[in-house]
Amino acid sequence: MNENFGSYIRQVRKHAEISQRELARRLKISAPYLNDLEQSKRKAPNNNVLKLLKQELNLDEEKLNDLAGLSKCSLPPDILKYLYNNDTALSLVRVISNLNLQKNKILGLKKMITSENYKAIIIAAGLGSRLGDLTKDIPKCMLKLNGKSILKHQLEAYETNGITDVSVIRGYNKDKINIQNIKYYENNEYMNNNILNSLFYAENELNGNVIVSYSDIIFSPKIVERLLQSTADISIVVDIDWRGRYVDRKDHPIDQAENVIFDANHSVVDIGKIMTSSNDVHGEFIGMMKFTKKGANIFKRHFNRTKQLFWDKPFQKSKTFQNAYITDILKDMVDLGVPIHSVIIERGWHEIDTIEDYNNVLTRLGKEEYA
């Protein structure tokens, strides 16, 4: 999405059905000035107006600051404020500048910080029955693609971004998942539950900053990097260029996609195996999300509440809570007003759910790794 500061403000204002004159009144600026901002005839306004804009339009603060920084050919205002209020951080930037550190050194520093503050959980307990004989003796995360297992592809994408604290939830043929330097959690009830309940076998890891991913996807390290940039308490990765993957995909048709409808602020409005219209702003949930410490606590609280209320009962689109998907609980949370942020991507990942998927991915990986 090629947005600038002005087009972003205009898009959100129109979506909120607020007139230019009314918004200008609330911001205590003139309507012509607001019009100039929306038409990119003026640079982004001062921080007081930015703060009011965020409040009045419920804007994504990180995105607002980034676009404002680009508009002013400057650092984003939130980063400037942080550096102004933190002498130590400012001195670190000065050391980097004085040493003229090369990109690889700076990225190494970034990886070290990420390694100390982030971890990942991979849910890999399922049977993978749709892959037929391919998973007769091994879990699907151990299927080889270009000489590396699906799990190894994920671990490398995480490691590229400095995430080495990884936990895997095992179930079916668990002994076949035996990579070193990984923490393992056992879901011995994998035949009687689904991916949401499976995740909570590693509930002890759902604290601090944590990324959760399905085990039947591979993804570019750039997607992890993009997700790490989100400051929202709960973020999910959404591919807006997803329809092409379902052309001639017979064994996993388009109506089985876990779609996400989001608003102009990238907040989730609806999620699950839902029908979308041409007027919806939507994409596909790829099976990856991130929590802050606060977000993880919110997620765990909702899980325990719904487990108590819906055990052995229908829950969202699932027959029972035991068989619920992660999208079921995310849908429930959205319905209750919990903010969930969409991190938008365009391709860069593959799902391997069926034999057809596996063969298609092998073909694509031979041409372009994450097309």
Start-to-end CA distance of the chain, whole Å, equals 18
Residue with tokens 């004989």: 133
111-367, superfamily in CATH?
Answer: Spore Coat Polysaccharide Biosynthesis Protein SpsA; Chain A (3.90.550.10)
| Residues 172, 125 contacting (CB under 8 angstroms) | yes
Cα Rg of the chain, angstroms: 22
Residue 185 near residue 169 (C-beta atoms within 8 A): yes
In tens digits, the chain (371 residues) has pLDDT values of 468 999 999 989 998 889 999 999 999 999 999 999 999 999 999 989 999 998 898 888 888 888 998 888 888 888 888 888 898 988 888 899 999 999 999 989 988 989 899 999 999 999 988 999 999 999 999 999 989 999 999 999 999 999 999 999 999 999 999 999 999 999 999 999 999 999 999 999 999 999 999 999 999 999 999 999 998 999 999 999 888 778 878 888 888 889 999 988 889 999 998 876 666 768 999 999 999 999 999 999 999 999 999 999 999 999 999 999 999 999 999 999 999 999 999 989 999 999 999 998 988 876 666 65
Question: Distance between CA 282 and CA 259 in Å, rounded?
Answer: 7
Instruction: HSE, CB side, 13 Å, CA atoms: give it for residue 53.
Output: 29
What CATH number does the domain located at 5-85 have?
A: 1.10.260.40
- Per the CB < 8 A criterion, the answer to whether 306 and 200 are in contact is no
Report how far residue 273's alpha carbon sits from residue 85's, in angstroms, rounded to the nearest whole number. 46
Q: For residue 260, what pLDDT is reported?
A: 95
pLDDT score recorded for residue 207: 93
Strand pairing class (259-262; 282-291): antiparallel
Q: What is the token pair recorded at 85?
A: 């209020």
The DSSP secondary structure of 307-340, one letter per residue, reads HHHHTTS-BTTBSSGGG--HHHHHHHHHHTT---
Question: Going by C-beta distance under 8 Å and a sequence separation of 6 or more, which residues neighbour residue 142?
Answer: 149, 150, 151, 176, 177
Cβ partners under 8 Å of residue 117, min gap 6: 208, 209
Q: How far apart are CA 60 and CA 323, in angstroms?
A: 34
How far lies 238's CA from each of 18, 216, 249, in Å? 27, 16, 20
Name every residue whose Cβ is closer than 8 Å to that of residue 241 and which is 6 or more positions away in sequence.
283, 346, 347
Distances (CA, A) of 132 to 92, 146, 198, 285, 358: 54, 20, 22, 25, 11
Whole-angstrom Cα distance, residue 12 to residue 19? 11
| pLDDT of amino acid 363 | 84
Contacts of 210 (CB under 8 A, 6+ apart): 118, 119, 120, 121, 290, 291, 296
What pLDDT is recorded for position 1?
A: 47
Q: Could you tell me the residue ranges of all domains in the chain? A: 5-85, 111-367
